[in-house]
Structure 1
């Protein structure tokens, strides 16, 4: 294993939560905690991306976002990484392929909020992603119904696992996905950035 990469033992189940985390906030922590509980995961790795191809504005420097994310976490099961920068990947399909090669005996689950499922069909090689790893979708305020009727949800309808069987997701053969309802947290990075533009000291410790 490369120096600086997270340690994972054979058979471990690891959730992958990708995003710009610009900035990371309590909403990210909330969905991570729900994913650990509901999917029975051993670990969650935050993949702090160099940049999001679907977002027109560039994020804050990577090292700054990683450091801020680590400050808000208090769970040894969650690891904040810059793996995409380390791997030299920008697209999720490439990142997952690289991680599966590096950790062939680890069971990965891709995690996303319900809002991302709505636009999942716009992701580069999204069907390849679904064919590589199970996908755990966590409800977000206002997005549960749109997610259920999204293009990706309709095309993957036969691969959907009932919510009552969510803990079986890490062991499922992809394509497989489940949408879980959880207590909702309305925080978003975009709202925090907007508040900071109005008040540069807002949200800073």
Structure 2
């Protein structure tokens, strides 16, 4: 895990990043600014149990590609989940919480993940571990109104204007952050890889 100091605000941005692209960087950039983060951990996962990636690039390649598109030194590209043998986000967050007392973490995710968030392993435990910042993505702006997560945790929704204080709040707490959106997607980029029709 990246090195942190007591009292830091740290965003946790996980994904397979297969491949990483400008849309991912835009989410990270918005999170750094709007959440007033000291760091953002760009967590490259071994794979996503809910996705059929077709061809999953090797972990080392996805790490290298991620490092190449993240120019901000506050972004720490890491793949510690593979080292610890972690498969599910809930497990990952539990380990992070256990090993980093005194750090203010926020789970960061693109709005495109919100609609299916209730299919994630122990999704309610995730929402109760750290505050969550949902960053707008194309075609997903209204998903926060209809998703099961948004309805279940409607009482814990924080106004977007208070996003800068989200890291200091007790979970469950979440907000939806509007902003510039990128049309890039890993699925679309993979469709142009050699061997794809």
> TM-score normalised by the shorter chain: which range applies?
over 0.9
- The residue correspondences of 1:88-103 to structure 2 (distance < 5 A) are 88-103=85-100
Q: Matched residue of 2:106: which SS?
A: strand
How many positions carry a matched residue from both structures?
196
Pairing 1:23–2:19 present: yes
Partner of 1:56: 52
Match 1:115 to one of 108, 112, 118: 112
Please state whether the residue corresponding to 2:12 is helix, strand or coil: strand
Stretches of structure 2 that go unaligned for 5 or more consecutive residues are none
- State the Cα distance separating 1:198 from its structure 2 match: 6.6
> 1:116 and 1:13 mapped to 2: Cα distance?
23
Structure 2 residue 68 is the aligned partner of structure 1 residue 74? no
* Correspondence for 1:203: none
| Contact 1:115–1:147 (8 Å) recurs in 2 | no
User: Corresponding residue for 1:158?
Assistant: 155
Aligned residue number for residue 184 of structure 2: 187
2:83 corresponds to 1:86:
yes
* CA RMSD between the two structures: 1.4
3-state SS of the aligned residue for 1:184?
Answer: coil
Q: What TM-score do you get using the length of structure 1 for normalisation?
A: 0.92
The Cα of 1:104 is off from its aligned counterpart by 1.2
Instruction: For residue 15 of structure 1, give the secondary structure of its aligned residue in structure 2.
Output: strand
SS in 2 for 1:80: strand
Q: Is the CA contact (8 Å cut-off) linking 1:14 and 1:108 kept in structure 2?
A: yes
Q: How far apart, CA to CA, are the structure 2 residues paired with 1:31 and 1:133?
A: 18
Q: Give yes or no for the alignment of 1:39 onto 2:35.
A: yes
Which position in structure 2 is the counterpart of 1:128?
A: 125
Alpha-carbon displacement from aligned partner over 1:65-108 (angstroms, at most 9, x marks no partner): 10111112211000110011122111000000101111111111
Q: C-alpha separation between the residues in 1 aligned to 2:143 and 2:41?
A: 27
**Cα pair 1:87 1:98 within 8 Å, conserved:** no
Q: CA separation in 2, counterparts of 1:141 and 1:198?
A: 27
Corresponding position of 1:8 = 4
How far has the Cα of 1:60 moved from its partner? 1.1
TM-score, normalization by structure 2: 0.96
2:126 paired with 1:149: no
Q: Partners in 2 of 1:133 and 1:43 — Cα distance? A: 15
- Consecutive unaligned residues in structure 1, runs of 5 or more: 200-205
